Each structure stands twice: as structure tokens, then as C-alpha cells.
Amino acid sequence: MSVLSTHPRQLRRWHLDWPLLAIYLAGLATRAAFASLPRVARWDEAAYLTIAHNLLTGRGYSELMGAMDVHQPPMVSLLAAVGLALRLPLEWAAAAPAHLLLGSLVVLPLYALGSALFGRRAGLMAALLAAFYPALAVHPLYWGTMTEPPYLLFILSGIYATYRCGRALASGAQPWGWAAAMGLAFGLGFLTRPEALIFLAAMLGYLGLLWLCAGPPRGRRLARLAASGALAAAMMTLLALPYMFYLHQVTGRWMLSGKAGTSMDIAWAFVNDSQAMHDQAAASLDSSGQEIMWLSPEAFDVSISGWILEDPARFATLVRQNMIDSWRELFSQELFQPWLWGLIALGLFSQPWTRARLRDNLLILCALAPLASLWIVFIETRFMVAYLAISLPWAGAGLAHLTGWAADTVQPAGRGKPAALHRGLAGALPAVLVVAAMLWSGIHAAQDLMPHLPFHRVEAARWLAEQTPPGTPIMTRNAETALYADRPMVAFPNAPWEQVLAYAKARGARYLVVDEWEINTVRPQLQQMLAGDAAPLPGITLVQQYEHPGHTIMLFRFE
């Protein structure tokens, strides 16, 4: 939030950019206000918090008892460990460092990108949009991962470093610092979500296109380009290596991500909108009958290419559906609201497309190219938010044009401060209206999403915390139940009941927590659990039950 200014004696010093600082603080306050609303850490966020808790208590990088985790990248777990070490509540332990601290810093690379491509006013407007837009300021609190805010910060910072590296290569300046910054940013992104690798590849492609578009002589430029790309890749590899060594230590295989094993079966489940298929892919037992596929070495025997070759028609269906879903997400209210598309169109077409402007916009176009990589897996709104953030410099340019038009439209009589004040107020009006629209939309989003949070699982966790000794293993499908109870979590296999009992006994599970929705939707073979008897299935006894609208949560004790 500072820029270099020149002292009269030609000494350089830093001074604060006050408008940018005000936007940053406003974004931070907005995120803090929404994070203060009642919330439950769930899904992947609960998994990251569980891993962080186990790290701090000496149980290693694990979520489920009996196995080290290879599916969750380490960044959010490490951030959550900081939050837990500071004794923050569970709702804040990951959200405070990931969403409030790093999420609010997203305004900085967007300001830098917007200013570099379209001018300072466009940069400030892009930062303003990043500070308040609901998909960045509100929705990450309810998506259940907390990966999006830090991931966006690292990816956008890498894109800006790429821009500066390209300018240095074009002008003959030294690009090495910016090339290293590229690798550092995308390396941190990789530790948050592995697909950051694809963004690095896209940005190296952008630098290659700049080299192709440059006039001769190209030989020396090619050498500098290759050296810059190698430096960026080396920096990213340096950051990724400790995690890759960890994966090799746990699995015995060299891999970039532990998600590769069951990822395509899970992707197929998402495309078919089937929770039952998803549960079957992750929680069914392997050929030994002793471990769920999520934790089994057998999960890594199936490669992505092997899955594709097994049934090419199925893969074609997956890609086609993902293309349809991505197009639908581009026009969803949760991401691209209609007025935002208007600002993007204004930013794109309010100025003539000169050669220099085309070169600058090529950066954003290349940064959007990794969207195609989602077509071979699956589409979720939270995956698409990266492409929303990348498009904000265009929207910022559109809003800057609108504010300039409003200021020029007001031509008050006279001169001096009153006339300047009138023009300033008129120019600020579009930005004020946009901020009001974003806040209104964010409030309504929170009101709509909050009732869907699993508060009933926290109630069950409270009973477990009060009625069971510390360290009592709990079998459940939901990490939040064990997390809020502060009890070790045992996987709940998708298997016949006899095998579930054997799995629980082998891992010392003492209680089982199930939700009526889980049985009806993903475990129909266990329908007898809903019979209402104290002992609906052999080996368990019903000890507590909570009724909630749409959910009945039951707690059983293993005998």
C-alpha cells in the first residue's frame, strides 16, 4: 500500500497511498463483520482445522485416525494452526488468517494490475470491487474450504509479477527479481491448491507470446525468456518440494498431489450430481476390506489417463457437461451479477483496441485460459471465483470510465473549490452505488446461506464433549462433528454393516454419529438405523437423538 516518491534531494522514500489504504481497511472491516455472524466450520475447512489440531498435539499431519493425510494441501492447515495456537474459536481459527488477513490483501495485486493496464483510477476501482464483492468478501465463509482467499491472493500476485517480468524482458531491464516473484507466488498457490501449476504454465505461455510478437533480434530475448521461465519454475519447485517429499514418504510414490487417486470418480459423481456416487468413490472399502479408498494405496493405482482410456465416451460426456456448467456459472448471481458484466463490457470496449491495448489485455486473456482445465474434472462455484477475480481489472476500468463520465457530465457554474466539489461528488456517485449494491447483495447472501449451516452437528458434538472421555474415537462422515467435540475421527465406511462394525472395532471407535439425510441419500443399506429402536442394528445402542427441520441426528454407542 505504498508507492515510491522522490525527495527533493533525490532520495527515495515510501509514503502511504491513502485511498488504497482506505479501501483495504474497508474490505477488512467488511470481511470481519460477516465473519462475526453465526457460523460453523464444515467440510474441508473442518478437515484443515482437524489437521492443524493434530499437528499441534503431536498426532502428525492427519485428519482421520490411522493414516496421514495426502489429500489436503498444507497452506490452510498451517494458517489454521496459527489461529489455533492463538486460541481463536474454531469459527475464526482458519477464517481469521485465511479470509480476513490474506483475503483482504487481494485488493493489492488487483490495484497493481488495474493501474498497470488501465491507469490508477481503474486500479482503485478494481480494488474497491475486490473489497466488497460478495463472492470474495462473503461467500468464502460458507463454501466450506477457506482455500479461496489465499489462493486468489497468490494467483493474482503471480499474474502481476508475470506482467512486470514481461515488461522487463521487453525493455531490456533485469527480469530476475520478477521471475523469482512469479515462482514464489505460484508456489504458494500450489501449496494452497495444486491447480496453481496450470496458472504458472499459462503465464509462461504469455511470456512466450510476448517474445513471438516482439521484433528481431529474438535470439538474446529468447535466452532471457528461457532463463526467466527456468527461474520461475525453480522457485515454485523449491517451495513445492517439501510437500512432494512428504507425499512420497507417505505413499511411496512421487506425485504433485494426493488428490489424483480418486479424483476422476469423484468428478464423475459431481457431474452426475450424485452424493451417493461421491460417497461410494471415497468411502467404499478397497479389495482388502480393511481401508476406505480415500486412505487406501489402491486409490493411486488408477491414473487420470487410465480413467479416460477406460471409457472415452464417459469422458466426453464429462467434458461436455462441465462446459455447460461453466457457462451457467458465468451468469449465476453468486458470481457474475448482471451489473458486473456491464462494467466488464464497458472496460473492454470504452476505448479503441490499439496494438498496445491488445498486448496488455493478452495478459488477462492468458490468465483466464486455465478455466479449460476444469472441464476435465468438475465445476463448482468456488473454482470459478478465480476467473471472476482475474476479470476485475476490466470491471475496474469500466467503473473508472463511468465515474469519469459522471464527473464530466456535471459542469457547475463558476470555478474553484465548490465546482471541484460538485464534480468530485458526481464522479463518486457510481462507485457509491456499486458499493451499496455489493453490500446489499452480501447481506442477502449471508441471510440465505446461514440457515443451511449444520448447527445440529455442533449440538451433537457438544453432547459428545460432555458425555465422553477425552480421546474417545468417534466414527462419522462429517469432520465438523469430531472437530467440535475435540475427539479423534474414525472414517465411516460405505459398506455392509458387518464390515462397518469390523472397521470400527479395529480402530477403537466408541460412538457413531449419523444423520437421517446421510442414510436416506448415501447409505440406503443402513435404513434400519431409522427404525427408532434403541438397538436398530446389532452392536450399537442409540444414546441420543436430536430433531431439526430436515435433519434427525442420531448418536449410537458401539457395544
Fold that domain 455-558 belongs to in CATH? D-Maltodextrin-Binding Protein; domain 2 (3.40.190)
Q: What is the pLDDT of residue 355?
A: 82
Q: What is the pLDDT of residue 14?
A: 58
The string of pLDDT tens digits covering residues 298-354 is 988 888 888 999 999 999 999 999 999 999 999 998 999 999 999 999 999 988 888
Q: What is the DSSP string of 454-470?
A: -HHHHHHHHHHHHHS-T
Q: What is the pLDDT of residue 239?
A: 97
SS (H, E, C) 189-215: HHHHCCCHHHHHHHHHHHHHHHHHHCC
In the chain, count H helices and then E strands. 25, 7
Residue whose cell numbers read 481469521: 96
Q: Residues 24, 18: contact at Cβ < 8 Å?
A: no
Residue 386 host element (H or E): helix 381-409
Alpha-carbon distance of 226 to 536, in angstroms, equals 67
- Where does residue 229 rank: exposed (0-12), middle (13-18), buried (19+ CB within 10 A)? buried
Q: Grid coordinates standing for 475?
A: 466414527
Q: Grid coordinates standing for 264?
A: 476422476
Q: What is the pLDDT of residue 408?
A: 84
Query: 256, 241, 246, 253: which is closest to 60 by C-alpha?
Result: 246
Please state the domain extents for the chain: 2-254+320-449, 455-558
Q: What percent of the chain has pLDDT over 70?
A: 94
Q: What is the pLDDT of residue 350?
A: 86
The string of pLDDT tens digits covering residues 345-370 is 999 998 888 888 888 899 999 999 99
Q: What is the pLDDT of residue 2?
A: 44
Q: What is the pLDDT of residue 261?
A: 62
Query: 58, 104, 100, 50: which is closest to 77 by C-alpha?
Result: 50
Q: Quick one: DSSP state of residue 523?
A: -
Alpha-carbon distance of 275 to 273, in angstroms, equals 7
Q: Residues 255, 247: contact at Cβ < 8 Å?
A: yes
pLDDT in tens, the chain (559 residues): 444 333 444 444 557 789 999 999 999 999 999 999 999 999 999 999 999 999 999 999 999 998 999 999 999 999 999 999 999 999 999 999 999 999 999 999 999 999 999 999 999 999 999 999 999 999 999 999 999 999 999 999 999 999 999 999 988 899 999 999 999 999 999 999 999 999 999 999 999 998 888 766 667 788 899 999 999 999 999 999 999 999 999 999 998 888 766 889 999 999 999 999 999 999 999 999 999 999 998 988 888 888 999 999 999 999 999 999 999 999 998 999 999 999 999 999 988 888 888 888 999 999 999 999 999 999 999 999 999 999 999 999 999 999 999 888 876 545 556 677 777 788 889 999 999 999 999 999 999 999 999 999 999 999 999 999 999 999 999 999 999 999 999 999 999 999 999 999 999 999 999 999 999 999 998 998 888 777 789 999 999 999 887 788 999 999 8
